[in-house]
A and B are shown apart, each in its own frame.
Chain A
Amino acid sequence: MPDDGAPLTESAGGATNVGDVSVRELSELRDLLFGAERRQLDELRRRLDTAELTPEELAEKLPQAIVQRTARDRQLGIALAPTVENAIKESVRRNPQELATAIFPVLGPAIRKAIAETMAGLVNTINRAIEHSFSPQGIRWRIESLRTGVPFAQIVMRHALVYRVEHVLLVHAETGLLLANAPEGSLGDADLISSMLTAIGDFVNDSLEPKKTGELRAFAAGDVTVLVETGPRANIAAVVRGTPPDSLPAKLQSTLETIHLQWCDPLTSFDGDAAGFTTTRPLLEDCIETVLATDRRAKADGRRWVAWAIAALLIVAGIEWWTSRGNRQWSAALARLETEPGIAVIRSERSGGKWRVTGLRDPLAVNPSLLMASRGVDTNDVVAHWEPYVSTEPVLLLARARHVLAPPGGVTLSLRGDTLVGTGRAPAFWIVRADGLAPALAGVGGVDLSRVTPGLPASMEPIATEIERLRALFAAGSDALDQSALNTIATAAAKFRELSAAANAIRYGVSMQIVGRADPTGTESDNVTLSRRRAVAVRDRLVSLGVSVSRLTVDASGSSDPVLADTPAERARVNRSVSFAIRAEPSRTANGAERER
């Protein structure tokens, strides 16, 4: 024990036993009186001698020291960073699984966050594209891009840019030599610029501020500003495009302080070799940033939503117009169909992108597809189902009557109520047939053909009329044929042959009635006899001229059916005559065929 050693050494020089006893007693007395103080003094001496903290003391103070220093500035973190990095590297090298397990819980959230940020960036890009595409400003920029040949993206960037820190240079303060710059290799003449920055600073100081109380902090050219922060050993310069924020100088200054702290020795001993400063680049790169017009986001958001809304509105209006146009066309076509005779729409609807229509249709009605197409409806979009039915609409009823009865050209059919009315002249057989058929037509309640007069077919009529106008005249009381009568008979024979030919062509059979007359003179019975003789004379003459006797009939009128004339003499003359009447009817075979049909 050192506290015991000193008194013993003191007494080593020639002490006696008695003395030993007294010394021991004295020592005991001293211990009794000053023991506690002595021990304190010895402890203080020990501390002064070692002047170092024991591990125990350090363990006591370290956490508090760390807390205090961390609260004050970043230096502790900066100082510890390399050690921590090395420790992590070593840990990974020894056992990667340990660290992987430890950081596993943070990996998932970190990846999700990264994805979310990427998506947010993408949405932002789309929003910007929309904003720039729809706004008048965007159109202006496009024109500017076309005019100048500068890519649109660059034009947008130039206009939307609030600021961008493009380059950061770390410059040795005394020599103006470049220590490091970021981004690497982005500035070809970084070393020259570095020197010029220093020279400009010197120039400004020398020229404007002889007392040199300040430093050049910033200068600008166009939209480029160079901010310079100075330190005792090095300066930092940032080339900024746009309007640099107030916070940037502080950030630069903080970076510069860190560099001064960590690279203190290389800065002091710098002699032109900048190799030791390449490790400052991450710090410099932290200062590189681009800020777009996000502070105008609220306004831009508003504009963007207006642009979205207008676009959406246009699209909706377009769809609405297109749909309603289709609807309008369809409705118009449907209304037209419903008014069309012979068509009855039962149901119509829109489903599966098609128009569907169901209804009834008279076969004689118009084609619905053609009608819809004429109204602008795309018939490819229409699915139609029409059931056939018989319509009693007057138009269709008449059409059906015409189709079934096939009236000759001289007959007009019309409806009076549900009665089918015919007017004009038609062959008697048609009248008979129509009279029988028409009531069978659906919708026809009755038939009135009283105004259809029977007549020869048109091809025979003129010839028959000519024959019936001929008159062979006789002398009073005579049945002899004079020259004039012979001529008339010859004409009649020729015309009759002509008529027969025309009748044959349309399958008609003709016959000629020879009507003999006498003037009123004498008794009626005589007159009848005379008139018969006259008719027979004419018949015989016609037969001799080649007319078949079977086609000829003889009729003696006497004076009972006289031909009218203005004077009695004239009446007597024209009634001493023979005239002709034509009878025509469809030949038996033709009539049979007609019936079958």
Chain B
Amino acid sequence: MIQKKVCMVGVYGTGKTSLVQRFVHSLFSAKYHSTVGVKIDRKSVKVGDTDVNLLLWDIEGRTSDQEIPASYLKGAHAVFYVADGTRRETFEQLFSLQELAQSAAGQVPSIVAFNKYDLKDQWLVQQADAAKLINAGFRMMTTSAKTGEGVEEAFRALATATLSSATTQTVQPPARHGN
């Protein structure tokens, strides 16, 4: 069986742990638990004829006084960025997070999930912001850990990308930073 290390990266409180819980255990809790260090979970998904065992490293979120430990990102086969659509700063920090992740794990497949889509009436991310991300080489999806919307698809897309990363890596746009 193929195993892939996937790192969940984002600002604190964006819902990284909730997404993993929803994806792995089909559970959602409105209670907030901040992650200390890292929590690891796993889930097998089938991509085509291949079983892929995703080892999900749910890394503690970045705070104003705490950077994400780069060592957790080392050797990651994919990075799952998580932003909160209702908090604009979580989007703005994606670029520096990408820089950090790429310096630790190299050019690996990634996806950006704009989480908490169930609160889309409070949405603060604009169309222009999305364009900015696409230019920076991000692939974007909206998700809701609460309703489960887009969650399975996001992880599945990332798993698929890891299997084909050897070929897709070359066709992906070169990494460009948002600034």
* A residues lining the B interface (CB < 8 Å): 172-178, 191-192, 195-196, 199, 202-203, 205-206, 271-274
Contacts and interface: CB of A to CB of B under 8 A. Distances in A.
B37 interface: yes
A176 B4 CA distance: 10
B37 A195 contact: no
Contacts, number: 62
B5 A199 contact: no
Contacts of B156: none
Contact of A199 (B1, B40, B77): B40
Interface stretch (B68-76, B89-97, B139-147): B68-76
A173 B37 CA distance: 19
Given A272-B2, A272-B4, A191 B77 contact: no
Given A177-B55, A191-B53, A195-B5, A205 B71 contact: yes
Contacts of A177: 3-5, 55, 75
Contacts of A173: 75
Interface in B30-79: 37-38, 40-42, 52-53, 55, 57, 69, 71-72, 74-77
19 contacts: A172-B75, A175-B74, A175-B76, A176-B75, A177-B3, A177-B4, A177-B5, A177-B55, A192-B40, A195-B40, A199-B37, A199-B57, A202-B69, A202-B72, A205-B71, A272-B2, A272-B162, A273-B2, A274-B3
A175 B5 contact: yes
Contacts of A172: 75
Nearest to B69: A206
Contact of A176 (B5, B52, B162, B166): B5
Contacts of B162: 272
Interface of B: 1-5, 37-38, 40-42, 52-53, 55, 57, 69, 71-72, 74-77, 162, 166
Given A175-B5, A199-B37, A272-B2, 12 more contacts: A175-B75, A175-B77, A191-B3, A191-B42, A192-B41, A195-B5, A199-B57, A203-B38, A206-B71, A272-B4, A272-B5, A272-B52
B109 to A, nearest CB: 12
The 5 closest A-B pairs by CB, nearest first: A174-B75, A175-B75, A202-B71, A175-B5, A177-B3
B136 to A, nearest CB: 25
B1 A274 contact: yes
A276 to B, nearest CB: 12
A174 B70 CA distance: 12
A325 B69 CA distance: 86
A205 B37 CA distance: 12
A192 B42 CA distance: 7
Contacts of A176: 5, 55, 75
A195 B3 CA distance: 11
Given A192-B42, A199-B40, A178 B71 contact: no
B69 A271 contact: no
Contacts of B40: 192, 195-196, 199
B156 to A, nearest CB: 16
Contacts of B69: 202-203, 206
B74 A272 contact: no
Contacts of B4: 177, 272
Contacts of B75: 172-177
A178 B5 CA distance: 11
A172 B76 CA distance: 12
B37 A271 contact: no
A178 B38 CA distance: 18
A206 B166 CA distance: 31
A237 to B, nearest CB: 15
Contacts of A272: 2-5, 52, 77, 162
B7 to A, nearest CB: 10
A193 to B, nearest CB: 9
A177 B57 CA distance: 11
A513 to B, nearest CB: 142
Given A192-B42, A199-B38, A272-B162, A178 B3 contact: yes
Contact of B55 (A191, A271, A273): A191
A166 B47 CA distance: 34
B68 to A, nearest CB: 10
A199 B59 CA distance: 10
A203 B69 CA distance: 8
Contacts of B42: 191-192, 195
A205 B69 CA distance: 10
Nearest to A175: B75
A353 B52 CA distance: 81
Nearest to B1: A274
B77 A271 contact: yes
Nearest to A193: B40
A205 B38 CA distance: 14
Nearest to B50: A273
A72 to B, nearest CB: 33
Which of B5, B41, B52, B53 lies at the interface centre, i.e. has the most chain A CB atoms within 10 A of its CB? B5
Nearest to A189: B42
A326 B115 CA distance: 95
Which of B3, B4, B38, B57 lies at the interface centre, i.e. has the most chain A CB atoms within 10 A of its CB? B3
Contact of B72 (A192, A199, A271): A199
Contacts of B72: 199, 202
A261 to B, nearest CB: 22
B102 to A, nearest CB: 15
B2 A195 contact: no
A290 to B, nearest CB: 30
